[in-house]
Chain A
Amino acid sequence: MTEESPIIELKNLTKSYKNGMEFRALDNANLKIKKGEFVAIVGPSGSGKSTLMHLIGLLDTPSSGTLLIDRNNVTNMSDKERSEIRNKMLGFVFQYHHLLPDFTALENVMMPLLIAGKKRKEAKETAEKLLKEVGLEDRMDHKPGELSGGQNQRVAIARALSCSPAIVLGDEPTGNLDTKTGDMIYELLRQLNKEYNQTFIVVTHNDDMALKADRIIRLVDGKITVQ
């Protein structure tokens, strides 16, 4: 593999909370992730996995250090620029599906495309294609309340992929599902990663799943211990 510049680079990235005394949820993290990599993040509860995902996902701001996404320093960007990167370059899958309850599966998947300013027709076509890909072509007009946990999580994956993001972030995307469904979802993510060469960063508690990743990153007490 040729030495190309990493799509994500963390330099001494730190997130600390101050209530009384300083507490570092993420402590001086240095990390490079290449384009197309599938990275699993593991670690005990409270070790800072979600904090790391939120920072990379531009949902949170670091206390110190820098974060480069596609060689751009995103730490000091305006809300508008950060929103645009979230929309165009990043896709999220959370532990709970977090779909908009008043919108159908199709509309939920279309939403990031509409936010990106895409035409309705184009957004609809893309969303339909993605829902087909995750096996929900016959559930497109159902609202989240009318779908099972696994189905909703697949809608959430389709939504995360809708704007063809360079980076897909999953924070325990299978954590709320039974083992069988969880495995299926994980397989789906792995398959999509190979298909589209998108970068995947997935937090998981499941060792079998982690072993299927290109790389495992372990967090303990906010520190990266194994790369």
Chain B
Amino acid sequence: MYELKIALRQVFSRKKQTFFAILAVALAVAVITVMMAMLSGFQGELIKSSTENNPHIVINPQDEKEGFIHLYRYNSALISDKEGVIAVSPKYLGQAALEHKDNAEGISLQGIEPEAEDKVMRVSKDIVEGSFLSLTHTRHGIVLGDKLAENLGVQLGDRVDAVFPGSKTTSFKVIGLVHTGTAADEVTAYARLDSVQEFFNEPGVVSTIGIRVADPYKADSISSSIERENELNAVSWIEANAEILNLLNTQKVFVNVFYILIYGIAGFGIANTLITIVAQRTREIGILKAMGASQKSIMIVFLFQSVILGAIGLVLGTILGYIATITLQSYKIAVPQEMYFGLQTLPLEVEPLNFVYAAFFAFIINIISGIYPARKAAKLDPVKAIESA
């Protein structure tokens, strides 16, 4: 393959030129891989936060005014039997007040079945004191948000009184503290579903049913099957986050335009370098033709050069991009919360496939940018080329 030999020799005999062409490709690939890491990280984070500690499907009351789901045991059992459903957690939600000595706080009282709720919402993960699952065998136990406990001045083992107009004041024993890091820690209180129903005098109904499924991406189809077959009002996390997910998709279009621009610039860098090389090598191209190199061979010589520049550029670029991503990850850059849906730091995800994409497209762009200069070289008139200065 003498074409490769000539290409290598020509490409590396001009160090500075070669260096800048490689740099252009490397920077393009690096910038794109970092952007892809941000986008994947952002999307990943969004999906994680929407699916990890939240129900994948929520059943809401059919009749909004009444606000209750009847026959919830029957319906929960039916849903549990569906394929892909891992856990079903019925929940009674009510506003009440908690009193301890002279302190009183308004709370959001959640009546739950501890094991089911833990499977759907992973509450145990956030428990900082006591235990969530102890609720199962503590009829009048209560798990409080840590801020709420602090405001009430209660500790594990203390008793608090739940108060609601028209309800019998009930005493609960604090058996766990939960910390989620959100505002919910100031108002959340968990107790057993049967106790809460009894407290509110609403036996046999719940406010919502939370469902966890094995594959979050199947939530939509399971949700519609529940609506169809069980005639319930089900909303999947995908439906609930449709706006954000749509926004992400729109954003992707813009990001892709941006990628194309970056690759375009790198491509012009390569093309420009090759045009310069062809101009500098005009006489040599003529000589090669005189020695019997065909147009095709000359074309190959210069395509090789663009491939060599591109290949080195994209290898360096992926390494650079990887290092930049890892570095940015370790700096934990803060982002304004209201802009990014509750994310606290810039999420970056090293997704190997992204590197493959970035490198693949860089390679394609390279070959495309090489075609024009290579054709120009191939079509040179040998007599004029040899006689050129």
Interface residues, chain A, with chain B CB atoms under 8 Å away: 54, 57, 59-60, 79-80, 83-88, 90, 92, 94, 98-103, 111-112, 114-116, 159, 163
Contact = CB atoms under 8 A, between A and B. Distances in A.
A54 B293 contact: no
B218 interface: no
Contact of B292 (A54, A100, A102, A112): A112
B292 A59 contact: no
Given A100-B284, A114-B2, A86 B292 contact: yes
B221 interface: no
B10 A102 contact: yes
Nearest to A82: B294
B16 to A, nearest CB: 16
B283 interface: yes
Contacts of B291: 86-87, 92, 111-112, 115, 159
Interface string B257-297: 00000000000000000000000000110111111111111
B94 interface: no
Interface string B289-318: 111111111000000000000000000000
B292 A60 contact: no
A100 B282 CA distance: 11
B5 A114 contact: yes
User: 10 tightest CB-CB pairs across the interface, nearest first?
Assistant: A87-B292, A83-B294, A114-B2, A86-B292, A59-B382, A112-B291, A102-B9, A102-B13, A79-B295, A98-B287
B127 interface: no
A63 B306 CA distance: 36
B323 interface: no
- Sorting the interface of chain B by its residue count into under 10, 10 to 19, 20 to 34 or 35 or more gives 20 to 34
B149 to A, nearest CB: 79
B2 A115 contact: yes
B382 A98 contact: no
A116 B2 CA distance: 10
B383 interface: yes
B383 A115 contact: no
B47 interface: no
B293 A115 contact: yes
B296 A59 contact: no
Contacts of B294: 79-80, 83-84
A61 B201 CA distance: 104
A80 to B, nearest CB: 5
B292 A88 contact: yes
Nearest to B294: A83
A59 B386 contact: yes
A99 B286 CA distance: 11
A80 B297 CA distance: 10
Contacts of B283: 98
A60 B382 CA distance: 8
B9 A86 contact: no
Nearest to B5: A114
Contacts of B284: 100-101
A127 B75 CA distance: 90
Contacts of A83: 289, 292-295, 297
A57 B290 CA distance: 8
B2 to A, nearest CB: 4
A163 B290 CA distance: 13
Interface in B350-366: none
A86 B289 contact: yes
Nearest to B387: A50
Contacts of A86: 289-292
A79 B284 CA distance: 18
14 contacts: A59-B383, A79-B296, A80-B296, A83-B294, A83-B295, A84-B294, A92-B290, A98-B290, A100-B284, A102-B9, A102-B10, A112-B291, A112-B292, A115-B291
A115 to B, nearest CB: 5
A87 B292 CA distance: 4
A3 to B, nearest CB: 31
